Amino acid sequence: MKVLIAGGGTGGHVYPGIAIAKELKERDINTEILFVGTENGLENKIVPGEGFELKTIHSKGFKRKAITENFKTISVNFQGLLDSYRIVSNFKPDIAIGTGGYVTGPVLLICSFMRIKTVIHESNVIPGVTNKILSRFVDRIALSYEETKKYFNKRIAGKIVVTGNPVRKDIFIYRKSEAKKALGFDVSKPLIVSVGGSRGAANINKTVLSYLNNYMPSNIQFLFITGENQYESIIKQCNMLKNKDVKVIPYAYNMPVVYAAADLIICRAGAMTISELIACGKPSILIPSPYVAENHQEYNARTLEKIGAAKVILEKDLDEKILYNYINEIIYNNDKLKAMSESAKSLSKPDALDQIVDLMYTLARS
């Protein structure tokens, strides 16, 4: 089978595609897979790094209230349709799946016009504009949440399947002690990880930096993932670089190992991060991004908070003292850590990836 996977921009739109690609290869090593993204997205590092081929097209997202810029966007996306036509005609996929981001627009539209079987996956509760438009053209729409159905036109209800978010299967394979060792940490001390989504989060970084410089106790360890763009400036300001209990890195290409090693994670509440925390049952302190459509990250975060799987700090209330208090309340209390972990796991949909891949096989053969 030949499978085209379109998705890009942020990690949250690329890793579901990686999970799907690895599962397809696992089931049949002869499956041919081609990723399509844009030149500026994180897919340019992630996809080749995971051993898959990536082709890029011109594509740009429309902005609300930016009429002049949107004229340019129309012309970029027209070029994107031509690029997509060239790629799709050469590769001749049996099926194409879009895993999010505006790059999926031109690619899936072309596939649909060329009568290639098409699926889109929506990882958030509130669907993105591109997926709403594509929903009319594609054959199947895989959703992560039942309540997302209401955002789509009733006439296309028959195409919708609720699957959950496909998380990378290697997230389940590492043991905590092995993972801590692999990352160079002491297995006997608790490890806290902070990560601000795939691109880093400036306000989380600022607070974590101040926590490390002023409040970090000696009996814990810390992995500080800053995001590529902020790394240089953070290491210049961090006084803890010589402390062997603290590691600062720009990006984790081995996130499954990081999840396995962590005792507590401080992070944003993007769709994939939440699904991964649930899948591996990790206690978390969530600081939802206030800069996202319809405040969907706070909604995601509150779902975990309600069942006791996470603590939530809104960015407006965030400072190193509140972070210090929340960390202290959780990290030394094994019963609490265990209860948070169990609560997170209770939301798990472990067969989401299998369901999506089964759906793709059924559709490709129909």
Ligand X SMILES: CC(=O)N[C@H]1[C@@H](OP(=O)(O)OP(=O)(O)OC[C@H]2O[C@@H](n3ccc(=O)[nH]c3=O)[C@H](O)[C@@H]2O)O[C@H](CO)[C@@H](O)[C@@H]1O
- Binding of ligand X at residue 289 (CB under 6 A)? yes
Report the chain's terminal Cα–Cα distance, integer Å: 13
CB of 292 to ligand X, least distance (A): 5
- Binding of ligand X at residue 252 (CB under 6 A)? yes
Which positions from 224 to 243 touch ligand X by CB under 6 A, shown as an x/- string? -x------------------
- Binding of ligand X at residue 198 (CB under 6 A)? yes
Please, which contacts does 28-32 make with residues 24 or more away whose CB atoms are closer than 8 Å?
A: 28/1, 31/1, 31/2, 31/3, 32/1, 32/2, 32/3, 32/91
- Binding of ligand X at residue 205 (CB under 6 A)? no
Comparison of 34 and 272: residue with beta carbon closer to ligand X: 272
Residues 9-28 that bind ligand X (CB under 6 A): 10-13, 15
Residues 255-284 that bind ligand X (CB under 6 A): 255, 270-273, 276
Comparison of 2 and 169: residue with beta carbon closer to ligand X: 169
198 is annotated as contributing to ligand binding: yes
Which CA distances in Å does 197 have to 77, 144, 157, 216, 297? 27, 19, 32, 22, 11
Going through 170-245 in order, the beta strands assigned E by DSSP cover 191-195, 221-225
Distance CA 4, CA 117 (A): 10
Which positions from 90 to 109 touch ligand X by CB under 6 A, shown as an x/- string? ----------x---------
- Binding of ligand X at residue 123 (CB under 6 A)? yes
124 is annotated as contributing to ligand binding: yes
12 is annotated as contributing to ligand binding: yes
CB of 349 to ligand X, least distance (A): 15
CB of 101 to ligand X, least distance (A): 7
Cβ contact 325:360 at 8 Å: no
Distance CA 192, CA 182 (A): 15
- Binding of ligand X at residue 38 (CB under 6 A)? no
CB of 268 to ligand X, least distance (A): 6
Cβ contact 100:122 at 8 Å: yes
CB of 299 to ligand X, least distance (A): 13
Determine the size of the site formed for ligand X (CB under 6 A).
Answer: 23
Token digits of residue 187: 């297995």
- Binding of ligand X at residue 120 (CB under 6 A)? no
11 is annotated as contributing to ligand binding: yes
Distance CA 345, CA 275 (A): 10
Cβ contact 161:141 at 8 Å: yes
Comparison of 99 and 343: residue with beta carbon closer to ligand X: 99
Residue-wise DSSP of 277-330: HHHHT--EEE---TTSGGGHHHHHHHHHHHTTSEEE--GGG--HHHHHHHHHHH
Whole-angstrom Cα Rg for the chain:
21
Comparison of 234 and 255: residue with beta carbon closer to ligand X: 255
Distance CA 21, CA 1 (A): 12
- Binding of ligand X at residue 199 (CB under 6 A)? yes
Distance CA 211, CA 217 (A): 10
Contact range with ligand X by CB under 6 A, out of 111-119, 191-199, 280-288, 302-310: 191-199
- Binding of ligand X at residue 50 (CB under 6 A)? no
Token digits of residue 150: 């209401």
Sequence ranges of the binding site: 10-12, 124, 168, 198, 297
Interface contacts to ligand X, rule CB under 6 A: 10-13, 15, 100, 123-124, 195, 197-199, 225, 251-252, 255, 270-273, 276, 289, 292
